[in-house]
């Protein structure tokens, strides 16, 4: 069964450092998303991506965040200068009908 794959599964980074979270969506899907889940809180939408551009973003997705689909298969989320409050589980999802989620990357900013 096709699945969304995210790497790494865990990442620890120092405050102020840049991180790139990687995702391989399901191959025939057209819509791509990043969500995050701060520990103990609900899953929150960050950004959606369609036709090689951002289609929607939330208030959370400020200038420190960016997304790319560099090679037609990978879908990345970059956080330029991480803050302690960026510590969360980050989920990638892709959709053609309904969204399928990856296993998540747990980001810890120290």
Question: Is 7 a residue that touches another protein (CB under 8 A)?
Answer: no
Q: What share of the chain is helix, strand, coil (3-state, %, to 5)?
A: 5, 55, 45
Instruction: Kindly tell me which residue out of 56, 64, 80, 81 binds another protein, with binding defined by CB under 8 A.
Output: 56
Instruction: Kindly tell me which residue out of 41, 52, 59, 70 binds another protein, with binding defined by CB under 8 A.
Output: 41
Residue 54: enclosing H or E segment and its boundaries? strand 53-57
| Least CB distance to another protein at residue 79 (A) | 20
Tell me the CA distances in angstroms from 10 to 58, 94, 104, one per residue in order. 24, 20, 9
Instruction: Kindly tell me which residue out of 1, 42, 53, 63 binds another protein, with binding defined by CB under 8 A.
Output: 42
| Least CB distance to another protein at residue 30 (A) | 8
Inter-residue contact 19 to 81 (CB < 8 Å): no
Residue 85: enclosing H or E segment and its boundaries? none
Residues lying near another protein in the complex (CB under 8 A) are found at: 4, 6, 30-31, 33, 35, 41-45, 48, 56, 91, 93, 95-104
């Amino acid at each position: 069964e096709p699945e969304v794959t995210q790497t790494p599964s865990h990442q620890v980074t120092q405050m102020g450092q840049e991180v790139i979270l990687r995702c391989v969506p399901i191959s025939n899907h057209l819509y791509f998303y990043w969500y995050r889940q701060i520990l103990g809180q609900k899953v929150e939408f960050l950004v959606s991506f369609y036709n090689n551009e951002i289609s929607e973003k939330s208030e959370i997705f400020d200038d420190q965040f960016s997304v790319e689909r560099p090679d037609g298969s990978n879908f990345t989320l970059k956080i330029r200068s991480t803050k302690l409050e960026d510590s969360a589980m980050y989920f990638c999802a892709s959709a053609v009908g309904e969204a399928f989620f990856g296993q998540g990357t747990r980001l810890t900013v120290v």
